[in-house]
Amino acid sequence: MTSLEQEFLDKIEKHKGIIFKISKMYMDEKDDRDDLFQEITYQVWKAYSNFRGESEFSTWLYRIALNTAIVFLKSEKKRSFIANEDFSNYKIIQDEYDHAKEEKLAEMYKAINQLNPIDKAFIFYYLEDFSGKEIADQMGISEVNVRVKMNRAKNKLKDILNSK
């Protein structure tokens, strides 16, 4: 194994939570999540030699992972995403098992899976506490456009959750 391969594996191990979260947001079924996880990892590996370190690895990984998820979703003709009217309840996940929180989280993922891929990306960025500027940079749009699209995505999610 080369040092580049080992470096890549170390970074993926350190940041696999990002890939897991995106996979869970875009795919309902475990097999589909596993396939997406593998596809994201493969796409990151293919692009790794182009990573120049001008941004954090995690930022670079988010961009590739979200783009891969959107393309994967379209190519497989699958749909998924989540939402909640009070997103703050879902931002903190404790290490110890909490059945009520686990149920709320599952409910939120189910709702998110009903959103379109772009709205899912905005919700993901929101849940990960990205700033408007960071989202704008990642998505290649203005901060004003981010605020508009973010509010629309949150409202769609809220409507989905309130319809239950």
Provide the mean pLDDT of the chain: 80
pLDDT of amino acid 159: 92
pLDDT of amino acid 94: 37
Sorted by where each starts, the structural domains of the chain and their CATH numbers stand as: 1-80 (1.10.1740.10), 82-164 (1.10.10)
- Produce one character per residue of 57-79: b if its CB has 16 or more CB atoms within 10 Å, e if not: beebbbbbbbebbbebbeeeebb
Give tens-digit pLDDT for 69-105: 888 876 654 333 333 334 444 444 334 445 566 677 7
Global model pTM greater than 0.85: no
* Residue 2 predicted with pLDDT over 50: yes
* Residue 143 predicted with pLDDT over 70: yes
Query: For residue 96, what is the DSSP state?
Result: S
pLDDT of amino acid 55: 82
Q: How far is CA 45 from CA 19, 42, 69, 129, in A?
A: 13, 5, 15, 26
Take residue 147 and report the two structure tokens written for it: 């605020």
Which burial class, exposed, middle or buried, applies to 83 when counting CB atoms under 10 A from its CB (0-12, 13-18, 19+)?
Answer: buried
> Which residues fall within 8 angstroms of residue 152, CB to CB, at 6 or more apart?
119
pLDDT of amino acid 100: 64
Query: For residue 52, what is the DSSP state?
Result: -
